[in-house]
Structures are given as structure tokens and as C-alpha cells.
């Protein structure tokens, strides 16, 4: 098992997905819910699963919640429980409390009461989806790691007639062009002086955020 110890309170869809992924990555996770059935389900994947009320300080103390590096309050529906649990955890001295917010106002309250990280899963997912829907210029996407990918991209309009070095593709945009498809020809590892032509397709390697920016340019 890896070193960081996680606890997740609230075993709804979000909490369970989080537990599944952390367990898959080899981390220790304690799952907490006041619903016995949820606890039983979680026991199959989490390292430990206990039934406890997120607002019961004594119960949280008895599972040693203070010793966990990161505690995630994944209760979504009941805002009051979510807020009270966050306060209790911070007052008990939990180092890092991550709290799930339902809306901006809820998020503001969580920040004010000391949540170390406030997350908005639904909003963030929608933003991600919107981005991928508008990045129509990306023809292929191969994820190399959570941070890096290779994409196949229709040449942005502003690139046409310019060389890779003029555009500063690597220096300014942080992206490496691995190959260019030019009509039927494939130019492998193009030189910096290579000029981009209309209809070219670029094969680019880089950080997801940098590639995303390329994908959002007009073609
Ligand atoms: P999602 O939207 O991710 O499915 P929900 O808000 O529906 O999340 O799920 C919240 C979970 O939190 C439920 O499993 C519920 O039993 C649990 N829960 C609600 N109140 C408490 C509480 N006071 N203590 C512990 N767990 C709670």
C-alpha cells in the first residue's frame, strides 16, 4: 500500500467512484456512511468500511479520523450535513479536508469554514465535456498519462504558411510536433523550418492543457 491514507465520508455515486479509483491505484481508503447497506457495498473495495454519522464527533474520533492525511466529505444531497461534518473534521485537526460543493454559495461557505479544497464535480465535468465538444479539430487522442497525450489535429488557420519555429510551437506553446500528414505524404519528425500547408494534419505531443488550447484554435 502507498503512504497517503484517505477517508471518504458519504458513499453516494461520487464517493464510491472515488474509493474505487483510489483503491485501484493502490491506496488505503476508509469508507464511512451512516447507511449500513452502503457500508457493506463499499467493504468490497475499500480497505475498511464503517458505519458512522458524519456529524458525530465521537464516532469519527473512534475510527481515528485525525490520523488520515486526506478526508473527503462526499455527501452531496444534504448541505447541512456536509457543512457540519467539514467543520467538525477541521476542528478535530484533520490535515486536509476536501469537501464537495453543490453550488457556488455552498462552496463559499465551505471555504470560509476552513475546507482545504472545495470541489464542484458536476460543474467541472460539464466544463470538461463542453471543451471536448468544441475541440472538433482533434481527430484522435491518445492519453499517455493523466497529464500527457498525443493528438492528431487539423491545422489551425493561423498556422498556414508559417514554419514551426516561427510559430514557436515548442517554445511558446509547449507542444512537440511528431509528424505532419501532408496529402499522402507523412513527414516524420519535421524540422523547425517546416512550413505548414492548408489541409495538413499535425500529430502533436504535449501536456493536455497545451494540446487543448491548440484544439480550440480555429481551423
Ligand atoms: P451522490 O450525489 O454522489 O450520489 P449523495 O449525496 O446522493 O451523493 O450521497 C450521499 C451519501 O452520504 C449517501 O450514501 C448517504 O447515506 C450518506 N450520508 C448522508 N448523511 C450522512 C451522515 N450524516 N453521515 C454519514 N453519511 C451520510
ipTM: 0.95
- Based on the fold, state whether residues 154 and 109 are members of the same structural domain: no
Looking at 69, 91, 119, the residue that finishes a domain is 119
Number of folded domains in the chain? 2
Q: Do 83 and 31 have their domain in common?
A: yes
Rounded-to-integer distance, Cα 164 and Cα 187, Å: 13
Give Cα 5 to chain centroid, integer Å. 19
From CA 219, how far away is CA 204, in angstroms rounded?
Answer: 15
| 88, 119, 150 - which closes a domain | 119
> Is 93 in the same domain as 183?
no
Cα(75) to ligand 1 centroid in Å equals: 4
Global pTM reads 0.71
The C-alpha atoms of residue 175 and residue 211 are separated, in whole angstroms, by 7
Same-domain status, 199 and 160: yes
49 close to ligand 1 (CB < 6 Angstrom):
no
Q: How many other β-carbons are positioned within 10 Å of the β-carbon of residue 214?
A: 22
pLDDT tens readout for residues 72-87: 999 999 999 999 999 9
pLDDT of res. 131 = 66
With a cut of 60, say whether residue 60 has pLDDT above it: yes
162-196 core/surface letters (b: 16 or more CB in 10 A; e: else): eebeebebeeebebebebbbbeeeeeeebeeebeb
Q: What is the position in ligand 1's atom list of the atom closest to the CA of 55?
A: 23
Q: Do 206 and 106 share a structural domain?
A: no
Residue numbers of the domain that contains 47? 5-119
For ligand 1, whether the C-beta of 81 sits within 6 Å is yes
Same domain, 115 and 30: yes
Domain boundary among the residues 119, 147, 178 is at 119
Give distance in angstroms: CA of 102 to centre of ligand 1: 13
Amino acid at each position: 500500500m502507498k503512504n497517503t491514507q484517505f477517508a471518504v465520508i458519504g458513499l453516494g455515486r461520487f464517493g464510491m467512484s472515488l474509493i474505487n479509483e483510489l483503491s485501484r491505484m493502490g491506496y488505503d481508503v476508509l469508507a464511512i456512511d451512516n447507511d449500513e447497506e452502503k457500508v457493506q457495498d463499499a467493504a468490497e473495495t475499500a480497505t475498511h468500511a464503517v458505519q458512522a454519522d458524519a456529524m458525530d464527533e465521537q464516532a469519527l474520533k473512534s475510527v481515528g479520523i485525525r490520523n488520515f492525511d486526506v478526508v473527503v466529505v462526499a455527501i452531496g444531497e444534504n448541505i447541512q450535513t456536509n457543512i457540519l461534518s467539514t467543520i467538525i473534521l477541521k476542528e478535530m485537526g484533520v490535515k486536509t479536508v476536501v469537501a464537495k460543493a453543490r453550488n457556488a454559495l455552498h462552496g463559499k461557505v465551505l471555504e470560509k469554514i476552513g475546507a482545504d479544497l472545495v470541489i464542484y464535480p458536476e460543474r467541472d465535468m460539464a466544463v470538461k465535456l463542453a471543451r471536448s465538444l468544441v475541440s472538433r479539430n482533434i481527430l484522435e487522442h491518445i492519453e499517455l498519462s493523466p497529464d500527457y497525450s498525443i493528438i492528431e489535429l487539423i491545422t489551425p488557420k493561423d498556422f498556414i504558411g508559417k514554419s514551426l519555429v516561427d510559430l514557436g510551437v515548442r517554445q511558446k506553446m509547449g507542444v512537440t510536433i511528431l509528424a505532419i500528414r501532408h496529402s499522402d505524404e507523412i513527414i516524420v519528425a519535421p524540422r523547425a523550418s517546416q512550413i505548414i500547408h492548408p489541409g495538413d494534419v499535425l500529430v502533436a505531443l504535449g501536456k493536455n492543457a497545451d494540446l487543448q488550447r491548440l484544439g480550440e484554435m480555429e481551423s
